[in-house]
Amino acid sequence: MSKEAVLAELQALRENVTGVTDSAVATVDGMLIASDTDDVRPDVLAALAAAALGLGKSTGNEVGMGELREVVTRCQRGHIVVYAVSSGKLLVVLGDEGLDVARLHVESRPAVTRLGDL
């Protein structure tokens, strides 16, 4: 996986989606691959996103909802969205209160495919 190509995908999300503040790609066991972050610690973000993804996958499997696509967490001051990239990777995106969640989903789906191919 080319770190430059991953960073280009992360920076494109920040540029194309209103409200995106930070993002990272990590392995499902929490190891950071690349990040585009300002105010968060990317290694901690990777580890916590992996935990959120794992919990979402387990819950989806338990209730028979099929393969997990994303986990969306809404907080007082923004959103945390974790996407399953492939069996071994994830994309986590942070956004402020003005995050255009619908646009993020539109932009992230092809980005997830491209990241899975890298």
Percentage of the chain beyond pLDDT 90 is 89
The CB-side HSE value for 57 (13 A sphere, CA atoms) comes to: 15
Question: Is residue 89 within 8 Å of residue 115, measured between CB atoms?
Answer: yes
The boundaries of the domain holding residue 93 are 3-117
Query: Which pLDDT value is given to residue 103?
Result: 97
Predicted confidence (pLDDT) per residue in 77-106, tens digit: 999 999 999 879 999 999 999 999 999 999
pLDDT tens per residue across span 66-80 = 989 999 999 999 999
Q: With 70 as the cut, is the pLDDT of residue 1 above it? A: no
Q: DSSP characters for 62-109?
A: HTT--S--EEEEEETTEEEEEEEEETTEEEEEEE-TT--HHHHHHHHH
Q: Does residue 86 contact residue 117 with C-beta atoms inside 8 Å?
A: no
> Can you tell me the distance from the alpha carbon of 30 to that of 48, in angstroms, rounded to the nearest whole number?
7
Number of domains in the chain: 1
Burial degree of 78 (CB within 10 A; 0-12, 13-18, 19+) = middle
3-state secondary structure at position 32: strand
CATH of the domain at 29: 3.30.450.30
What's the mean pLDDT in 3-15? 94
Place of tokens 């503040």: 21
Average pLDDT rounded to a whole number, residues 34-44: 94
